[in-house]
Amino acid sequence: MGRVARLPLPPTVLDAAVRGYCRVLDVHLDEASVPGEGFGTFGRFFARSLKPGLRVVDRNPGALASPCDGLVRTTGSLKTGGTPGFEVKGRSYSVVELTGRRGWWSEIDAGGYAVIYLSPADYHRVHSPSDGSVVGAWHLDGTCLPVNRLGQLLAPWSVVTNERIVFDIDGPLGRVVLVMVGALGVRAIEVTLPGLRFEGEGPRGGVPIERGQEIAVFNLGSTVVVLWEGQMDPGVEPGQRIRFGQSLAARRPCESNDVGHGIR
């Protein structure tokens, strides 16, 4: 599927394919930033950028912004103590399984999470939920099972077994982990944050990033998992659609300056 998506196509063929795709899946093509020379391949259409100004990033100092467009599958508090965990559709999973290692998430007293599903119709670029620095980034090889509704019925464990890229972000709100989970047909999650390189266990030093700044792009369907330390009130509910930049969760006012300094 990836090879086919990268094949250059005649403009008339690609235009017909894109318009048919948009019509069947209700894609809002008017939101896309179309290159002057056109998309050229179906893959470039799928990984399209948005026109400037279409999304407003929540700048509340105590808020995490949604990193992407999609459907909120679940939110909740991380299970802490012993092996940290989270739930998707009533099933429990280990954060260590998800991230492939132990880290700050194994040492905290409180934390939360959100799981967002990106359908084939969604905008597929992913952005940082917070200001700060990317202090770790690593790739985990794995399966490429479907993550859509049928996939969740047949292989619900795919969130912790599919190919994944993990970004560990340190900022004013404390530590945040963003996990991009590949899916059926996805073998190319492209990192786009300037200066970020995978060197052994991750980048050497921190790579500065701003809330809402693009970090990577999926080339086909996918899921994003966001984990955070400390108490936050989710700004969304399971089953709700969310857009990149909207508030995903917010620190309670009395705690906004008290998190992120105890685990270093």
| Assigned domain for 99 exists | yes
Per-residue model confidence as pLDDT tens digits over 168-188:
999 999 999 999 998 765 456
Per-residue model confidence as pLDDT tens digits over 46-70:
889 999 889 999 999 999 999 999 9
Q: Is-catalytic flag, 33?
A: no
Q: Is-catalytic flag, 222?
A: yes
| Assigned domain for 250 exists | yes
Q: Of 232 and 82, which is predicted with more confidence?
A: 232
pLDDT of residue 204 exceeding 60: no
| Assigned domain for 263 exists | no
| Assigned domain for 203 exists | yes
**Within this chain, do residues 24 and 115 fall inside the same structural domain, yes or no?**
no
CA gap 216, 219 in Å, rounded:
10
Amino acid 178: pLDDT:
97
**Within this chain, do residues 194 and 204 fall inside the same structural domain, yes or no?**
yes
Range of the domain at 11: 1-54
Q: Of 145 and 35, which is predicted with more confidence?
A: 35
Structure tokens at 87: 């739930």
Q: Give the residue from 217, 125, 119, 226 showing the smallest Cα distance to 167.
A: 226
Q: Give the residue from 211, 166, 168, 218 showing the smallest Cα distance to 192.
A: 218
Amino acid 150: pLDDT:
47
**Within this chain, do residues 205 and 164 fall inside the same structural domain, yes or no?**
yes
- Catalytic residue, chosen from 66, 158, 222, 247, is 222
**Within this chain, do residues 166 and 198 fall inside the same structural domain, yes or no?**
yes
Question: Best-predicted range by mean pLDDT among 161-165, 195-199, 235-239?
Answer: 235-239
**Within this chain, do residues 15 and 64 fall inside the same structural domain, yes or no?**
no
pLDDT of residue 82 exceeding 80: no
| Assigned domain for 92 exists | yes
**Within this chain, do residues 102 and 184 fall inside the same structural domain, yes or no?**
yes
Give the chain's mean pLDDT. 83
Q: Which residues contact 235 (CB under 8 A, 6 or more apart)?
A: 63, 246, 247, 248, 249, 250
- Catalytic residue, chosen from 58, 122, 127, 168, is 127
**Within this chain, do residues 102 and 216 fall inside the same structural domain, yes or no?**
yes
- Catalytic residue, chosen from 58, 69, 122, 170, is 69
Would strands 222-229 and 111-118 be described as parallel, antiparallel, or unpaired?
antiparallel
**Within this chain, do residues 174 and 122 fall inside the same structural domain, yes or no?**
yes
| Assigned domain for 264 exists | no
Q: How many structural domains are present in the chain?
A: 2
**Within this chain, do residues 165 and 84 fall inside the same structural domain, yes or no?**
yes
pLDDT of residue 5 exceeding 90: no
